[in-house]
């Protein structure tokens, strides 16, 4: 899986496109709970990490933009310790 070692809205849409079996440009903005669990799992595999997200972070991830922002934040912290 190629996420270019960074997470942004385009990368989130691309990952969700694989799950939803639709082109990335046709992806809805909303992310349901099953999609979110799948997305987190894919990111953990791609970045060889385990994400420990709190309830506030998970709530922010109900849309593509929020998911991209939270993932970018936690992956940056993970990389920098």
Q: Is the pLDDT of residue 77 over 80?
A: no
Q: How many residues are listed for the chain in this entry?
A: 81
CB of 61 closer than 8 Å to CB of 70: yes
Report if residue 27 sits inside a domain: yes
Q: Which domain holds residue 45?
A: 9-80
Mean pLDDT computed over every residue of the chain:
87
- The 10s digit of each residue's pLDDT in 38-56 is 999 999 999 999 999 999 9
Interval 58-73 mean pLDDT: 97
pLDDT of residue 9: 93
- Separation between Cα atoms, residue 28 and residue 25, nearest integer Å: 9
Dihedral sign from CA coordinates of 47, 62, 53, 33:
negative
Percent of the chain with pLDDT over 90: 67
pLDDT of residue 2: 42
- Separation between Cα atoms, residue 46 and residue 52, nearest integer Å: 16
Interval 26-31 mean pLDDT: 82
Number of domains in the chain: 1
CB of 71 closer than 8 Å to CB of 43: yes
Report if residue 34 sits inside a domain: yes
Question: For position 27, which CATH number holds?
Answer: 1.10.1200
């Amino acid at each position: 899986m190629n996420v270019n070692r960074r997470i942004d809205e385009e990368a989130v849409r691309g990952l969700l496109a694989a799950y939803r079996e639709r082109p990335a440009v046709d992806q809805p903005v909303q992310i349901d709970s099953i999609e979110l669990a799948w997305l987190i799992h894919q990111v953990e595999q791609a970045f060889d990490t385990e994400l420990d997200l709190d309830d506030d972070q998970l709530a922010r991830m109900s849309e593509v933009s929020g998911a991209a922002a939270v993932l970018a934040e936690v992956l940056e912290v993970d990389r920098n310790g």
